[in-house]
Structure 1
Amino acid sequence: MYVTPPSPNVTRPVTAPVWWQVSGPGFTALIGLFMLTVIYRFDGLSEIQLALGLSSRSLLLIGLVAYLAGAALSAVAGLLLGARFPTAVAVPATCFLLFGVLLAAFADAGGLLMAGRALSGLGTGAAAGTAVALILKLRERRGAVAGVTAGLAVLALVLGPVIGQLVSEAMGFRVIQLIAVPFLLIALVLNAVLGVVRLSAAKRAAAYPPSGYAGGPWQPGGAA
């Protein structure tokens, strides 16, 4: 009786990310870092603090601690899952940041502002963790991508108070929050497009056998 031999187990190597895949979560993270410091001014005051009647301690808790706490929690998920599922992490991260910015823009009390800042922190941390995870997995241009990303991150943190002060003094703190919305929509589209491209590349790679594998003797074209 003829018994069909079992198909061999073929282990395909995990495809390493390429440098341009960092651009999606990296762009979201840069927006998030900008929004982290945009509510502050170099003279120590804050338009949000004045508009909502917050004390310095309340602003520290609502504006900074809530944001950093959310970022710290979600950064772990980004680091653990971001390299393998960058789109599945980056798209929700961008949505969290978008919703957080909208809440902060229309906040009329400290509680709503805290919720918005916490959501923004969750989005920023997840996106930043994903970007770092992808950079660590790069096989080419890792140093260059890491250097450029770090430089842009510092620039976003520094420019936040400068641009925030200029815009907030002229048009109020709500406008500087809303300015981030179109950029976040672009980031959302960018992450979705990169996900589609990555999925298409993975399907094309799966359509071909690994290099050097000629098939079994029972398969057409297999080695005898």
Structure 2
Amino acid sequence: MDASTQHDPRSPAGPPWWLLVGPGLAALIGLFLLTAIYRFDGHSALQIELGMSSQSLLLIGVVAYLVAAAIAFPAGLLLGGRLPTSVSVAALCSMLLGVLLVAFVPSSGMLLVGRVLNGLGAGAAIGVTAALIRRLRTGRGAAAAMAAGLGVLALLIAPFLGGLLSDAFSFRLVYLVAALFVFVALIVTGVVGIVTLTQAKPSSRPMPYPSQGPPRL
């Protein structure tokens, strides 16, 4: 067999599990932000303070978010397997800017911009998470189940926590706290990416091949 066709059996294709931490945390924050705008026991503080109707809140706060997420999800899914850290950092930066805009929003127009940026970041992060889970060699089912379970929990718990913070302080505090979590996720993603890149460098050296026989005269 030609030496150029040989492969190193010690370097299986597939991301390490810890590479999921950054985009997975970003995806959970994105799902939390999707439903945090609502509350189950009446109008949200954001809706009351900005003087929005229920239809406007649905279109600006939810539909725009979902459309933006649907647009960004394919990009995260396609690029997330090859460039998980880069795509995740871009997604988190979009989420951070969007959350800060919502936290200091003066009108419903600015709310639309913030929610679109949140949706773009959330969709890309979910796509990266799905791409990494799909490429795992072991524990793929457990990782998918855990991600799905935590995602549903984030969707369900957001209106309760958002309502509690809004009643005690202001709806703006909800998004300031979310901005803090997004910033932490951004740092974690960068650190994990650097560690993964550092550990991958030694494996990039060419492997010595065994001699194919005595040299020809």
Alignment TM-score, normalising by the size of structure 1: 0.88
Which ranges of structure 1 fall in alignment gaps of 5 or more residues? Answer: 1-6
Residue 210 (structure 2) aligns with = 214
Structure 1: which amino acid aligns with 2:210? A
Residue 85 (structure 1) aligned with residue 83 (structure 2): yes
Query: Post-superposition shift, 1:202?
Result: 2.2
Report which stretch shifted further, 42-51 or 59-68: 42-51
Separation in 1, partners of 2:163, 2:214: 71
Task: Please give the residue correspondences for 1:1-224 in structure 2 after superposition, counting only pairs within 5 Å.
Answer: 8=4, 15-209=13-207, 213-214=209-210, 224=215
Query: Post-superposition shift, 1:32?
Result: 0.9
Separation in 2, partners of 1:97, 1:48: 18
Query: Post-superposition shift, 1:209?
Result: 1.4
Separation in 1, partners of 2:24, 2:128: 8
Residue 4 (structure 1) aligns with = none
Report which stretch shifted further, 89-98 or 15-24: 15-24
Aligned with 2:201: secondary structure?
helix
Aligned with 2:160: secondary structure?
helix
User: Does the 8 A contact of 1:63 with 1:114 survive in 2?
Assistant: yes
Query: Post-superposition shift, 1:47?
Result: 1.0
User: Does the 8 A contact of 1:89 with 1:126 survive in 2?
Assistant: yes
Query: Post-superposition shift, 1:201?
Result: 2.3
Instruction: Indicate the structure (1 or 2) with the bigger Cα radius of gyration.
Output: 1
Aligned with 1:107: secondary structure?
coil
Which ranges of structure 2 fall in alignment gaps of 5 or more residues? Answer: none
Report which stretch shifted further, 89-98 or 200-209: 200-209
Using a 3 Å threshold, how does the CA distance of structure 1 residues 8 and 157 change in structure 2: closer, same or farther? same
Residue 3 (structure 1) aligns with = none
Query: Post-superposition shift, 1:15?
Result: 2.9
Separation in 1, partners of 2:64, 2:214: 62
User: Does the 8 A contact of 1:62 with 1:117 survive in 2?
Assistant: yes
Q: Could you report, residue by residue, the CA deviation over 1:175-202 in whole angstroms, capped at 9, with x for unpaired residues?
A: 1110112211110011101111221122
- CA RMSD, Structure 1 to Structure 2 (Å): 1.9
Alignment TM-score, normalising by the size of structure 2: 0.91
Q: How many residues align?
A: 211
Separation in 1, partners of 2:83, 2:61: 30
